[in-house]
Amino acid sequence: MSDELTRIPVPSDINTAWKPPTDLSKPLTPFQEAFVLSACPEGTRIIQARLHRTVQLPCPIWVDVSLPNREACRLILRMNYILGGVEKEAAILPLLALAGLPVPTVLAGPAIDPAQPEAGAMTILNVLPGQSFLEWGLTATPEQIQWAIGLILQGIDLIHGVTTFLQHSPIAQQLPRRTLSSELQAILARGGPWLSEAVFEQAIEVLEPIVSKIETPLAFSSGDYNQGNFLFEGERLTGIIDFSLPCFEDPHIGMAMYLIYCWSPYDQAGIVERYLKRQHLTLANFAPRLALRCLRTLQEQFPVVGGEDVCDEWNFETLAAARQRVSGLLKRAMDIMRP
Query: How open is the CA angle 31-95-247, to the nearest 5 degrees?
Result: 90
- Same-domain check for residues 50 and 142: no
- Same-domain check for residues 87 and 100: yes
Query: At a CB cut-off of 8 Å and minimum separation 6, what does 273 contact?
Result: none
- Same-domain check for residues 220 and 102: no
Q: Determine, yes or no, domain membership for 17.
A: no
pLDDT band at residue 154 using 50, 70 and 90 as cut-offs: very high
pLDDT band at residue 98 using 50, 70 and 90 as cut-offs: very high
Q: Which pLDDT score is estimated for 24?
A: 85
Residue 323 has pLDDT above 80, yes or no: yes
Residue 326 has pLDDT above 90, yes or no: yes
- Each residue's pLDDT tens digit, 183-204: 999 999 999 999 999 999 999 9
Which of 106, 127, 148 is the C-terminal boundary of a domain? 127
Query: How open is the CA angle 210-214-216, to the nearest 5 degrees?
Result: 155
Residue 156 has pLDDT above 90, yes or no: yes
Segment 146-156 mean pLDDT: 98
- Same-domain check for residues 256 and 119: no
Nearest-angstrom CA–CA distance, 10 and 285: 30
Q: Which pLDDT score is estimated for 290?
A: 98
Segment 46-73 mean pLDDT: 95
Q: Which pLDDT score is estimated for 1?
A: 55
Residue 295 has pLDDT above 80, yes or no: yes
- Each residue's pLDDT tens digit, 219-244: 999 999 999 999 999 999 999 999 99
Percent of the chain topping pLDDT 90: 90
pLDDT band at residue 10 using 50, 70 and 90 as cut-offs: confident
Burial of 281 (0-12, 13-18, 19+ CB in 10 A): middle
Please name the amino acid found at residue 88. Answer: K
Which carries the bigger pLDDT value, residue 13 or residue 152? 152
**Residues making up the chain, counted from first to last:** 339
Residue 245: DSSP 8-state: S
Task: Output the DSSP codes for 88-109.
Answer: HHHHHHHHHHHTT-----EEEE
Quick one: CA dihedral 196, 202, 203, 207, positive or negative?
A: positive
Q: What is the pTM of this model?
A: 0.95
Nearest-angstrom CA–CA distance, 145 and 258: 14
Q: List 61's β-bridge partners, or say none.
A: 51, 77
- Same-domain check for residues 91 and 217: no
Question: What is the rounded average pLDDT for all residues in the chain?
Answer: 95
Nearest-angstrom CA–CA distance, 325 and 262: 10
Q: Determine, yes or no, domain membership for 148.
A: yes
- Same-domain check for residues 119 and 137: no
Nearest-angstrom CA–CA distance, 237 and 152: 8
Nearest-angstrom CA–CA distance, 112 and 55: 21
Q: Which pLDDT score is estimated for 338?
A: 80
Segment 166-189 mean pLDDT: 96
Segment 144-149 mean pLDDT: 98
Nearest-angstrom CA–CA distance, 193 and 303: 9
Our count of domains for the chain comes to 2
Nearest-angstrom CA–CA distance, 135 and 227: 9
Q: Are 75 and 127 in contact (CB under 8 A)?
A: yes
Nearest-angstrom CA–CA distance, 144 and 266: 11
Q: Which domain holds residue 81?
A: 30-127
- Same-domain check for residues 243 and 321: yes
Radius of gyration of the chain (CA): 21
Q: Determine, yes or no, domain membership for 119.
A: yes
Residue 171: DSSP 8-state: G
The SS3 call for residue 304 is: coil
H-assigned helices in 39-84:
none
Q: Determine, yes or no, domain membership for 10.
A: no
Q: Determine, yes or no, domain membership for 12.
A: no
- Same-domain check for residues 95 and 162: no
- Same-domain check for residues 122 and 137: no
Nearest-angstrom CA–CA distance, 190 and 188: 5
Query: Quick one: angle between helices 319-337 and 283-301, nearest 10?
Result: 150
Q: What is the CATH number of the domain that holds 283?
A: 3.90.1200.10
Nearest-angstrom CA–CA distance, 310 and 306: 9
Q: Determine, yes or no, domain membership for 7.
A: no
- Same-domain check for residues 324 and 185: yes
Segment 100-109 mean pLDDT: 98
Q: Determine, yes or no, domain membership for 2.
A: no
- Same-domain check for residues 206 and 300: yes
Which of 127, 147, 172 is the C-terminal boundary of a domain? 127
Question: 247: part of which helix (H) or strand (E)?
Answer: strand 247-249
- Same-domain check for residues 39 and 69: yes
Q: Determine, yes or no, domain membership for 19.
A: no
Nearest-angstrom CA–CA distance, 130 and 24: 26
Q: Are 194 and 227 in contact (CB under 8 A)?
A: no
Q: What is the CATH number of the domain that holds 116?
A: 3.30.200
Quick one: CA dihedral 166, 244, 322, 11, positive or negative?
A: positive
Residue 82 has pLDDT above 80, yes or no: yes
- Each residue's pLDDT tens digit, 19-28: 888 888 899 9
Q: Which pLDDT score is estimated for 25?
A: 86
Which of 94, 127, 160 is the C-terminal boundary of a domain? 127
Please name the amino acid found at residue 325. Answer: R
pLDDT band at residue 173 using 50, 70 and 90 as cut-offs: very high
Q: Which pLDDT score is estimated for 21?
A: 87
Q: List 76's β-bridge partners, or say none.
A: 62, 125
